Every structure is written in C-alpha cells, then in structure tokens.
Structure 1
Amino acid sequence: MARQCELSGVKPITGNRVSHSNVKSKRRFLPNLVNVTLRSDALDRNVSLRIAAKTLRTVDKLGGLDGYLAQSKDDTLSPKALKVKRDLQKQATEAAEAEA
C-alpha cells in the first residue's frame, strides 16, 4: 500500500536531518495517514479511504465528502475516490434530467 493520500495525493517528501554539528543526511517526511470511513449523503453510502489528517480537516470544512470531491481535480484522486466522484456526477445529471 502506497504512502499516499487517496483524496489530495499527498506523498512523502525528502529533506535533511541536521545534527548538532550541522552534518546533513537525507531523511523522509511521511504524511500523517489515517483510515477513515466517510459518508456520501448524495449516494447514501459509506466510503472507506486512507487520507491525510490535514485532508480530513479540509473535507470537514468543505461540507463533507461530496463537497470535497466536487471541488477536487481528477488527477489527484485515487481510482477509488475517482469512481465515487463519477457516481456523484452521474447522479447529479440524472436528477437534473428528471427535473426538466
């Protein structure tokens, strides 16, 4: 399993570990990934994802999973999240056609 957020695409980055004597050696900064189950109100189902903790705060701020996926770009999403986004778009178009 890759150490990558399924919604925002956050990955490990590299930097330097600096000792007291200012000797630099390479290190990795890993994202704080958490396993969460988010509820899609429009689809009326739960989705299990492995996302970064800072992305979880953004999801809450934007009004849940549906709001976050509506504003996100397709190239940052995992295949699982992209499928949920497409299901949301499909349902929105079906609802618009039913009203017209």
Structure 2
Amino acid sequence: MSRVCELTGKGPMVGNNVSHAKNRTRRRFLPNLNDVTLQSETLGRGFKLRISAHALRSVDHRGGLDKFLAKAKDAELSARALKMKKDISKAQTAEA
C-alpha cells in the first residue's frame, strides 16, 4: 500500500536529520494517513479512503466530500477518487 493521500496526492518527502554537531543523515517525512469512511450526500453512501489528516480537515472545511471533490484538481486525485467525482457529478446533473 503506497503512502499517498487519495484526495490531495500528498506523499513522502525527504530531508535530513541534523544532530547538535550538525551531522546530516537522510530521512523520510511520511504524511499522516488515516483510514476513514466519508459520506456522499448526493449518492447516499459511504466511501472508505486513505487520506491525510490535512485532507480530512479540508473536506470538513469545504462542507463535505461532494463539495471537496467538485473543487479538487483531477491531477491530485487517485483513480478511485476520480471515479467518485465523476459519479457524483453525474448524479447531480441527473437531479437538476
């Protein structure tokens, strides 16, 4: 399982551990990923996703999964999230 957020595309970064003596050793900074189930109001069902804590706060801030996906860039989303976005937009156009 890759360490990449399904909604924001946030992944591992690399950097240095720096000791008091300024010795540098390479290290990885991993994103804070959580397994969550988010509800779609339009489709009326939940989706299990592996997203970062930052993405979870962003979804809450924008008013839910449907609104977050409507504003999200396609390049950042995973294949599953792109399919969800397409299904939600289809359902919203069929509703109107």
Amino acid at match of 2:38: L
Aligned to 1:85: 85
Any idea what the Cα deviations from partners look like across 1:7-43, whole Å, max 9, x if unmatched? 0000000011001110111110000000000000001
Question: 2:30 maps to what in 1?
Answer: 30
Distance in 1 (CA, whole Å) between partners of 2:71 and 2:20 is: 44
Please report the TM-score for the alignment, with normalisation by the length of structure 1.
Answer: 0.93
For 1:48 and 1:54, how far apart are their aligned partners in 2? 17
Letter in 1 for 2:2: A
Q: Percent identity?
A: 53
SS in 2 for 1:3: coil
Aligned to 2:61: 61
- SS of aligned partner of 2:34: strand
- Residue by residue over 1:56-98, the C-alpha shift from the partner in whole angstroms, topping out at 9 and shown as x without a partner, is 00000000100100100111111111111000111122223xx
5+ residue gaps, structure 1 = none
In the comparison of the two structures, how many residue pairs are matched? 96
- Which aligned segments of 4 or more residues in structure 1 are displaced greater than 4 angstroms? none
- Structure number with higher helix proportion: 1
Superposition pairs for residues 6-45 of structure 1, below 5 Å?
Answer: 6-45=6-45
> Rg larger in 1 or in 2?
1
Partner SS for 1:39: strand
Alignment RMSD: 0.7
